[in-house]
């Protein structure tokens, strides 16, 4: 029992230290502090004007500004999943510290989670706050019937992003083309997951992607509770789907991280370009 | 004797530009081979698809505009991400001091590098236009002679931005972050997803203080409606103004920033 407690404590310490390091790395450069939140915010405004130029005053059951707001939340979490937690092991490789990481007794999962939490603190939360202010300025009306449901939907969305980070952390390194894949997967996901255009507007065959992509379910739930007054009961289906997919992603992520560990320890090739 | 020296000097600079082009071409080709082609060629198509779904659902035919504007914006992004990051990329590789000590003009090897970027960008533009034709049923009706006049003018108008960013990247040592900071502003104000004329007043005034919107207006009209130079003169005249002023400002900024970095002794520090 004491070993389990010790391991948990050690993992928490590793996670906190990694999060702190990630925050300090980001905050060390003013340009990084500014540019990370700026992209989603300006993308939000660009797409808002695109909807305006198209003459669309509604998207699904809501306005473009409201629809895009939750999309930008999803997008911010997705960017964070890619470039922090997802990129964690690759960052260690770039810095030349990957072999040291895999020789240390630190929990790999705690390191990935630490990167994610660091990014959530310095990038995700400030971006969401400013985006919400922007949305209010654009006249978004929130219709919240169940504040608890908002909390649940938000936590579920966060869980999905963390699960994605976990999966990507191993996958990126194993491809040896992390930067390319990280860059490439951004736009298709914006399109296919319901972040910036409604899934119903996509060709049917593409709609299936949104059904299995966890962040889509999280956004559905969050849109419901924030914009149309949905209750916990009404979003329970989306939340359950999201939790199930997240668990599957975590298991797959664990498997990939073990493959990375194998490559590091047995083949000794992980730090090769 | 003086003629022979001049000829030798020109031949030396031309050879430096050619070698720089060849080296950069090989480097980019190598990267493309490492699957980067998937990102650089396909990403714009997904971005067009986002705008296409927004416009198609509303029954708007602005998609043709977006396809051509997205193709033209490849030049803008090349100016930012390719030319604007040249010096910082070399610094990260550790080759910048050697390049500065090479016995040829800086403009020669930078022109060679930039030409490699231009060829790559031409490939991306072709890909976007083919995707527009095949996937979004865009029908082009280009006025080729007019396009051959406007495109170089547009590129010249962008050169100042590229040179300034190149110098700034050297100074702040985070050229890629700077590019990522600038590019969403240019997407918003550059008329990529919608014509600049549809922006609300304050933003339109800012957009009209830059060459991008004029370039997009002229290029889209010429490529889609067979517009002549006379038809696009309202956009062309300001664009020509930018094409004259922008390289001068860019060169002055680049020289000033580079001199500052050299004075500080930070050429190879990052």
pLDDT digits 0-9 by tens, B73-130: 999 999 999 888 888 888 888 888 888 888 888 888 888 998 998 998 998 999 999 9
In this structure, are residues A71 and A133 in contact, taking their beta carbons and an 8 Å threshold?
no
- Alpha helices in B78-199, H assignment, sequence order: 86-93, 96-101, 106-135, 144-172, 175-189
Q: Is the pLDDT of residue B219 over 80?
A: yes
- pLDDT tier for residue A150 given thresholds of 50, 70 and 90: very high
Q: Which residues, numbered 138 to 167 in chain A, qualify as contacts with chain B under a Cβ-Cβ cut-off of 8 Å? A: none
Q: Does A58 touch chain B (CB under 8 A)?
A: no
Q: How close does chain B come to A12, measured CA to CA in Å?
A: 31
pLDDT digits 0-9 by tens, B241-266: 999 999 999 999 988 988 888 888 87
Q: What is the DSSP string of B174-231?
A: -HHHHHHHHHHHHHHHTTSSS-GGGS-HHHHHHHTTSHHHHHHHHHHHHHHH---TTT
> Residue A17: which residues within 8 A CB-CB, separation 6 or more?
A114
Q: Does A49 touch chain B (CB under 8 A)?
A: yes
Q: Is the pLDDT of residue B146 over 90?
A: yes
Among the residue ranges A15-24, B53-62, B63-72, the one predicted with the least confidence is B53-62
- pLDDT tier for residue A90 given thresholds of 50, 70 and 90: confident
Could you give the CA distance from residue B62 to residue B230 in angstroms, rounded to a whole number?
23
Q: How far is CA B110 from CA A161, B18, B19, B97, B175, in A?
A: 42, 10, 11, 14, 16
Question: Average pLDDT in the A223-248 region?
Answer: 91
| Cα end-to-end span (Å), chain B | 45
A:B CB pairs within 8 Å: 96
Count CA within 13 A, CB hemisphere, residue B208: 12
Q: What H or E segment, with its residue span, contains residue A67? A: helix A64-80
Q: Which among A153, A130, A161 is positioned nearest to A44, based on CA atoms? A: A130
Q: Is the pLDDT of residue A272 over 70?
A: no
- Helix pair B175-189, A30-54: axis angle to 10 deg: 20
Q: Which among A141, A122, A138 is positioned nearest to A45, based on CA atoms? A: A138
Q: Which among A181, A157, A183 is positioned nearest to A171, based on CA atoms? A: A181
Q: What H or E segment, with its residue span, contains residue A9? A: helix A2-27
Tell me which chain B residue has its CA closest to the CA of residue A59: B54
pLDDT digits 0-9 by tens, A158-179: 888 889 888 888 888 777 777 7
Could you give the CA distance from residue B208 to residue A119 in angstroms, rounded to a whole number?
36
> Residue A103: which residues within 8 A CB-CB, separation 6 or more?
none
Please report the pLDDT score of residue A6 as a whole number: 87
Please report the pLDDT score of residue A80 as a whole number: 86
Q: Is the pLDDT of residue A37 over 60?
A: yes
Please report the pLDDT score of residue B270 as a whole number: 64
pLDDT digits 0-9 by tens, B153-198: 999 999 999 989 888 888 888 888 899 999 999 999 999 999 999 9
Please report the pLDDT score of residue A192 as a whole number: 86
The beta-carbon contacts of A130-134 under 8 Å, at least 24 apart in sequence, are A130/A37, A130/A41, A131/A40, A131/A41, A131/A44, A131/A69, A131/A72, A131/A73, A131/A76, A132/A69, A134/A41, A134/A44, A134/A45, A134/A69
Q: Is the pLDDT of residue B226 over 60?
A: yes
Could you give the CA distance from residue A112 to residue A161 in angstroms, rounded to a whole number?
12
Count of beta carbons in the 10 Å neighbourhood of residue B133:
13
Task: Give A-chain residues touching B193 at CB under 8 angstroms.
Answer: 46-47, 49-50, 53
- pLDDT tier for residue B22 given thresholds of 50, 70 and 90: very high
Q: How close does chain A come to B1, measured CA to CA in Å?
A: 52
Q: Is the pLDDT of residue A154 over 80?
A: yes
Q: Which among A79, A44, A46 is positioned nearest to A186, based on CA atoms? A: A79
Q: Is the pLDDT of residue A152 over 90?
A: yes
What are the φ and ψ backbone dihedral angles of B73, each rounded to 5 degrees?
A: -70, -15
Return the ∠ at Cα B133 (arms to B127 and B135), rounded to 5°: 90
- pLDDT tier for residue A271 given thresholds of 50, 70 and 90: low
> Residue B255: which residues within 8 A CB-CB, separation 6 or more?
B167
Q: Does A50 touch chain B (CB under 8 A)?
A: yes
Q: How far is CA B231 from CA A45, B62, B142, B218, B226, in A?
A: 31, 20, 13, 9, 9
Could you give the CA distance from residue B91 to residue B173 in angstroms, rounded to a whole number?
9
Best residue in B136, B169, B184, B187 to probe A by mutation, most A CBs within 10 Å?
A: B184
Q: Is the pLDDT of residue A105 over 90?
A: no
**CA B187 to chain centroid:** 13
What are the φ and ψ backbone dihedral angles of B5, each rounded to 5 degrees?
A: -65, -40
Global pTM value: 0.88
Tell me the average pLDDT of chain B: 89
DSSP 8-state code for residue A62: B
User: Pick the residue with more confidence: A141 or B229?
Assistant: B229
- pLDDT tier for residue A95 given thresholds of 50, 70 and 90: confident
- pLDDT tier for residue B50 given thresholds of 50, 70 and 90: very high
Tell me the average pLDDT of chain A: 87
User: Pick the residue with more confidence: A34 or A179?
Assistant: A34
Q: Is the pLDDT of residue A227 over 60?
A: yes
What are the structural domain ranges in chain B?
44-91+128-264
């Amino acid at each position: 029992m004491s070993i389990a407690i010790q391991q948990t404590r050690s993992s928490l310490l590793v996670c906190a230290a990694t999060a702190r390091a990630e925050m300090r790395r980001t905050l060390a450069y003013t340009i990084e502090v500014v540019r990370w939140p700026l992209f989603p915010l300006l993308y939000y405004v660009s797409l808002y004007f695109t909807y305006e130029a198209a003459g669309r005053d509604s998207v699904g059951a809501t306005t473009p500004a409201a629809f895009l707001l939750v999309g930008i939340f999803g997008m911010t979490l997705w960017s964070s999943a890619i470039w922090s937690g997802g990129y964690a092991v690759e960052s260690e490789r770039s810095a030349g510290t990957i072999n040291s990481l895999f020789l240390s007794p630190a929990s790999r999962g705690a390191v990935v989670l630490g990167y994610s939490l660091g990014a959530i603190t310095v990038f995700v939360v400030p971006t969401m706050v400013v985006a919400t202010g922007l949305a209010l300025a654009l006249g978004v009306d929130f219709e919240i019937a169940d504040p608890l449901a908002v909390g649940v939907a938000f936590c579920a969305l966060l869980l999905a992003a963390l699960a994605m980070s976990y999966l990507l952390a191993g996958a990126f390194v194993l491809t040896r083309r992390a930067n390319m894949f990280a860059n490439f997967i951004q736009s298709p996901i914006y399109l296919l997951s319901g972040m910036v255009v409604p899934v119903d507007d996509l060709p049917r065959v593409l709609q299936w992607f949104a059904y299995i992509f966890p962040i889509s379910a999280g956004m559905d739930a969050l849109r419901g509770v924030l914009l149309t007054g949905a209750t916990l009961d009404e979003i329970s289906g989306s939340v359950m789907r999201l939790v199930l997919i997240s668990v599957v992603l975590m298991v797959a992520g664990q498997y990939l991280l073990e493959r990375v560990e194998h490559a590091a320890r047995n083949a000794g090739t992980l730090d090769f370009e | 004797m003086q003629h022979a020296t001049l000829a030798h000097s020109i031949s030396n600079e031309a050879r430096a530009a050619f070698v720089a082009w060849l080296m950069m071409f090989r480097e980019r080709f190598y990267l493309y081979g490492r699957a980067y082609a998937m990102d650089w060629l396909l990403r714009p198509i997904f971005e067009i698809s986002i705008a296409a779904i927004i416009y198609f659902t509303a029954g708007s035919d602005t998609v043709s505009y977006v396809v051509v504007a997205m193709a033209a914006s490849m030049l803008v992004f090349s100016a930012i991400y390719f030319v604007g990051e040249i010096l910082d990329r070399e610094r990260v590789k550790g080759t910048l001091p050697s390049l500065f000590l090479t016995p040829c003009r800086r403009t020669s090897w930078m022109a060679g590098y930039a030409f490699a970027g231009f060829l790559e960008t031409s490939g991306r533009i072709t890909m976007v236009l083919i995707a527009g034709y095949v996937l979004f049923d865009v029908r082009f009706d280009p006025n080729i002679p007019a396009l051959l006049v406007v495109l170089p003018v547009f590129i010249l108008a962008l050169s100042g931005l590229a040179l300034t960013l190149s110098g700034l990247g050297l100074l702040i040592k985070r050229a890629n972050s700077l590019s990522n900071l600038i590019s969403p502003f240019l997407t918003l104000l550059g008329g990529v997803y919608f014509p600049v004329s549809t922006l609300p007043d304050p933003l339109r005034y800012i957009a009209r203080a830059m060459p991008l919107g004029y370039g997009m207006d002229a290029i889209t009209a010429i490529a889609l409606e067979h517009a002549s130079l006379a038809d696009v003169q309202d956009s062309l005249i300001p664009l020509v103004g930018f094409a004259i002023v922008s390289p001068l400002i860019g060169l002055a900024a680049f020289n000033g920033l580079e001199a500052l970095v050299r004075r500080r002794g930070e050429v190879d520090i990052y």
